[in-house]
Structure 1
Amino acid sequence: MARIAVIGAGMGAMAAAARLAVAGHRVTVYERAATHGGGVGRMTRDGFAFDTGPGLLHLPAVYRDLFVKTGKESLEQSLDVVQVDPASAHVFADGTSVALPNASRAGVVQALDEAVGAGAGERWSELVNRARVVWDATRRPLLEEPLLADPEYLEALGHDPYPGLRKRGLFRRSTPPVLAAVAERELKDPRLVALLESHALAYGLDPRTAPASAAVLPYMEQTFGSWYVRGGMRGLADAVYERCRKRRVEFVFGAEVVAVAEKDGRAVGVELADGRVDEADTVVAGVSPGVLRRIAPAACGPAVRPGPLVPPGRFTVFLALRGARAAGAAHRTVVHAPDRGAELAGVFGEGARGSAATAYRPTVTVLRPDDPDVRPDDGHEAVTLTATVAPHGRVDWADEATAAGFAERVLDAAEGLLPGLRDRLLWHEVRTPADTERATGAEGGGVPAPVLAGGGGAFLRTANATPLSGLYLAGGFAHPGGGLAHAGMSGTMAAGLIVSGADWRGSQ
């Protein structure tokens, strides 16, 4: 039985802890905050409840596998997990609206043809079919196996597997280099372009620089569906925490790790803010790149580029509304920005700082769960509005006037979908990237994106095995990147490397 110290109680770290405990190890989790879950939080007030992190789960098989491998109760026995249908609705800048059914290729084609025009559904379907090539090429090396430090292997992942259409003429070029080029060339209609690019934007990816392989994001959602946990997605974090507890994982809250203890080039424990050093045979860190550099500089090798140090963040407005939820309202609706260029410049433009990075109306995701557990009664509605924004630092999101002004822009965007919004409003609360930074420790409140092939490897994350022997990484800032499912995969990979050694190749 080895002693294993886990730094952080986020989803990836807890997934690793549960698997390591089942393997017979003694696992202790050190979390600087007062609770578990990391970015998967919950805010409650006056009988209303809101998720402060992800609002939906894609690829639920990741957590089904975790629960199967760590106990008798399945995911469905532990939680009420349901598919949402439609998977999403969209309101485009010209007023066109469409509802896309969950996990139905034919249904999506029909819906787009009816809303956008004949042939629109087929063009979208053909793009999704090409994205399947990306899925088949990258599923194993990016989602099922830990990342290798081999230069040839990394160079291969730097090539984009998206099979782009060829141009006609003597000088023909194949794969478009970035997602925006794919959208413009293959979809043509600005509404379909907005639909594709919104999947990238939701993960904090700039479609003008993200590789064409980012088309795999809508492929995964459309193929495997969108899922919700009754009572809110925080319930998934609670269930993973309880599974850890049943496996006798020990949690120490309010325990900030300030350094990974080292001896003879190996991690041998953790040093806490109170000066105590707890010994361990192995350490797993579920932390951001900046924290990792601070507590374990020897682990920050150059083998894999970790992506942007501070990715974009999330700006969220929680709405407590009087009046019942409209019958037939979609669980998730994306209200698209009227000015794509202004939004992308505000979110991603390094030259846009302060007010220049907030002077636009954003694309807003509106979550309206049909869930009695998140509202005081059926005469009220809990609604969450979310936009991808520049990180804290490029914008001073701690400034109350800045946050309040941008909240008004978010409310303006949602008002067309929620008629009489301000008249129905009992109260609202705002969460900014500055709040995320305080809650999770992630620099700038940035939320990491999933890994992608292509882009010369710039969209990979730090490998799970570090240059410091005995120290492993899990969570959204490690391979295979951000998102609930990807965080769970990272925990699987870190645990597999510890239990089975460096030769463990995941799915093999």
Structure 2
Amino acid sequence: MARIAVIGAGAGAMAAAARLSVAGHRVTVYERSKTHGGSLGRYARDGFVFDTGPGLLHLPAVYRDLFVKTGKEPLERCLTLTQVDPASRHLFADGTTVSLPNASRAGVVGALDRVLGDGAGARWGEFLDRAGTAWDRSRRPLLEEPLHEDRRALGRDPYPAVRRRRLLRSPLVAGTVAEIGAWELTDPRLAALLDGYALSYGLDPRRAPAAAALLPYMEETFGSWYVAGGMRALADAVYERCLARKVEFVFGAEAVRVTEKGGRVAGIELADGRGVEADHVVLGARPAPGLVPVRGEALGGARESPVPGRFLVLLSLRGAREPGTAHRTVVHAQDPAAEQEAVFGGRTAERPTVTVLRPDDPATRPDEEHEAVTLMVTVAPHGPVDWTDAALRERFADSVIDQAARAVPGLRERMLHREVRSPAETWADTGAEGGSVPAPALAGAEGAYLHAGNRTPLPGLYLAGGWSHPGGGLAHAGMSGALVAGLVVEGDGFRGSR
């Protein structure tokens, strides 16, 4: 039985902790804050309850597998998962509105054809076919296996872009998300739809490789799911599973250094000066300078910076949620190019893309005559933008509400209270520098969108969570926990789940 110290109590770290404890190890989690969950936070006021992190779950099979492998009670016995339908409603800059059904390729194609016309649905369906090929080519090495030392295979883009002949010139081949929109989808609304997927994950459509087509493919193939009581309930369920498997938690314990002896991990040092001996250390946070005795470039992480964060406006509304209201509505930017220049240039966009989340969940509101609504925007991190500037926060919140009002009738008149959460709060709550939110790993771009491997050059030190392979997002974080557990239990011979 090995002694294992886990730094951080985010979803990926807790997934690793539960699996390692079941394997017979003595696991202790050290968390700098007063609670578990990492980005899966919660804000409550006067009977209104809001998630402050992800609003939906994709690829729930990752957490079903975690619960199957760590106990007798399956995931659905511990919480209630519901597929949202429609999966999303989209309001484009020209006023066109389309609702896309959940996990139905034919339904999505039909909806796009009816609303956008001119073969739009067929073009989107053909694009998803190509995205499916990219999924088949990269799924295992990108998501289900530890990151190989030889990353050349993942440096090549798996998306089979359409080759368009040009007279006496080389053919056009889409290499980025934006180029897929312009050259393959052609309709600016379809391009905005694809750009919106990338932007929601913190990726710049102008630079993200075509392999980012995996993101809409995963959502539209495997569906979008909501956890009753809010997504925080998933963090609670994983935490309770850890406790049931005898994982120990120490809160208010900030790790400031991973110690080594004889060329391998020896334990961790806490901010209060205490030393903790450990045979293995699992770091469930972004490796900060001075924390790990390994240079950042040696970990092999993604090179793109700065990484965007999330700006939230949490609205307590009077009045009942209208029947048939979509759980998720995306109000697309009036000028997508200007928005991308702002977000990835360290500024605020004037009329940004806003995701409006309106869960039909009694647990989020005081009664049926009120509604809790979350507005979410991808923004530049704290640093390039000073998100502690009160006037800037309020101005930007007003612009976000103005955008959302296009999708929510009488929004301003219904407001009882609004709470603003910026990357500055994310930084304070989670310790993620700048309040940045990691994106999923992507193949292509010569490996620029890969994250640090779960196994590090320092024997005994492993990385879990969104800042490590296979990257950000709840499903990806859960996968990282499974990969770390496999590497610790089976050693270097571990090649991923079969």
Cα separation, 2, equivalents of 1:471 and 1:262: 10
Q: 1:305 aligns with which of 276, 301, 305?
A: 301
Match of 1:217, SS state, is: helix
Partner of 1:137: 137
1:308 to partner: Cα distance:
2.8
Partner of 1:234: 232
Matched-pair contact (CA < 8 Å) for 2:343–2:349: no
Partner of 1:82: 82
Partner of 2:408: 418
Partner of 2:210: 212
Cα separation, 2, equivalents of 1:452 and 1:240: 27
Cα separation, 2, equivalents of 1:403 and 1:137: 43
Matched-pair contact (CA < 8 Å) for 1:448–1:482: yes
Matched-pair contact (CA < 8 Å) for 1:8–1:31: yes
Q: Is structure 2 residue 56 aligned with structure 1 residue 66?
A: no
1:299 to partner: Cα distance:
5.7
- Where in structure 2 are the equivalents of 1:373-412 lying within 5 Å? 373-412=363-402
Q: 1:368 aligns with which of 323, 342, 358?
A: 358
- Where in structure 2 are the equivalents of 1:115-194 lying within 5 Å? 115-150=115-150, 154-169=151-166, 170-173=168-171, 175-194=173-192
Unaligned runs of 5+ in 1: none
Amino acid corresponding to residue 210 of structure 1 in structure 2: A
Q: Is structure 2 residue 336 aligned with structure 1 residue 340?
A: yes
Amino acid corresponding to residue 159 of structure 2 in structure 1: Y
Cα separation, 1, equivalents of 2:11 and 2:320: 33
Matched-pair contact (CA < 8 Å) for 1:452–1:460: yes
Cα separation, 2, equivalents of 1:370 and 1:307: 39
Q: 2:494 aligns with which of 475, 481, 504?
A: 504
Amino acid corresponding to residue 127 of structure 1 in structure 2: F
Q: 1:310 to 1:495 in 2, by over 3 A?
A: farther
Partner of 1:249: 247
Unaligned runs of 5+ in 2: none
- Where in structure 2 are the equivalents of 1:459-478 lying within 5 Å? 459-478=449-468
- Where in structure 2 are the equivalents of 1:73-112 lying within 5 Å? 73-112=73-112
1:371 to partner: Cα distance:
0.5
Q: 1:204 to 1:11 in 2, by over 3 A?
A: same
Kindly report the root-mean-square deviation, in angstroms, between the aligned alpha carbons of the 2 structures. 1.1
Matched-pair contact (CA < 8 Å) for 1:269–1:279: yes
Partner of 1:288: 286
1:287 to partner: Cα distance:
1.0
Cα separation, 1, equivalents of 2:438 and 2:331: 22
Q: Is structure 2 residue 26 aligned with structure 1 residue 36?
A: no
1:64-102 superposed Cα distances (whole Å, 9 cap, x missing partner): 000000000001111100100000000000000000000
Q: Is structure 2 residue 55 aligned with structure 1 residue 55?
A: yes
Matched-pair contact (CA < 8 Å) for 2:165–2:172: no
1:166 to partner: Cα distance:
1.1
What is the TM-score when the length of structure 2 is the normalising length? Answer: 0.98
Matched-pair contact (CA < 8 Å) for 1:35–1:253: yes
Partner of 1:271: 269
Match of 2:452, SS state, is: coil
Q: 1:121 to 1:359 in 2, by over 3 A?
A: closer
1:359 to partner: Cα distance:
4.5
Match of 2:259, SS state, is: strand
Amino acid corresponding to residue 156 of structure 1 in structure 2: A
What is the TM-score when the length of structure 1 is the normalising length? Answer: 0.96
Cα separation, 1, equivalents of 2:404 and 2:22: 46
Amino acid corresponding to residue 321 of structure 1 in structure 2: L
Match of 1:295, SS state, is: coil
- Where in structure 2 are the equivalents of 1:191-206 lying within 5 Å? 191-206=189-204
Matched-pair contact (CA < 8 Å) for 1:337–1:363: yes
Matched-pair contact (CA < 8 Å) for 1:299–1:467: no
Q: Is structure 2 residue 453 aligned with structure 1 residue 453?
A: no
1:171 to partner: Cα distance:
3.8
Amino acid corresponding to residue 252 of structure 2 in structure 1: G
Matched-pair contact (CA < 8 Å) for 1:166–1:172: no
1:365 to partner: Cα distance:
0.1
1:10-38 superposed Cα distances (whole Å, 9 cap, x missing partner): 00000000000000000000000000000
